[in-house]
Amino acid sequence: MEDADETPAVRLPKAACPLCGRPVDPRYRPFCSRTCADRDLGHWLSGRYRIPTDETPASESDEF
Ligand SMILES: [Zn+2]
């Protein structure tokens, strides 16, 4: 009798996506998917920093 005492995989700590609560994907830690990671990044950036984009807020009052 041979007992294969191999560990199937590295036991990752139970982590859930902070946004949707789904199991975290190691590739997108600490999020479950790129969607959530992207979403959070967007929130984070828009909340803390200003992203330099070509889209400038059209100031309608300036056209007057
Ligand atoms: Zn998620």
- Total structural domains in the chain? 1
The pLDDT, as a whole number, for residue 2 is 67
Ligand 1 centroid from CA 37, angstroms: 7
- Per-residue pLDDT reduced to its tens digit, 40-57: 877 777 776 555 667 666
Burial of 26 (0-12, 13-18, 19+ CB in 10 A): exposed
Q: 38 lies in which domain range?
A: 14-51
- Domain membership of residue 59 (yes or no) is no
20 within domain boundaries: yes
Q: Which pLDDT score is estimated for 61?
A: 66
**Residue 1 domain flag:** no
Residue 32 lies in a domain: yes
Tell me the per-residue pLDDT of 1-32, one tens digit each, with 9 for 90 and over: 667 666 666 665 578 999 999 999 999 999 99
Residues with C-beta atoms within 5 A of ion ligand 1: 17, 19-20, 22, 32, 36
Q: Is residue 31 part of a domain?
A: yes
Binding residues for Zn(2+), by number, are 17, 20, 32, 36
53/64 Cα distance (integer angstroms): 24
- Give the end-to-end CA distance of the chain in Å, rounded to a whole number: 87
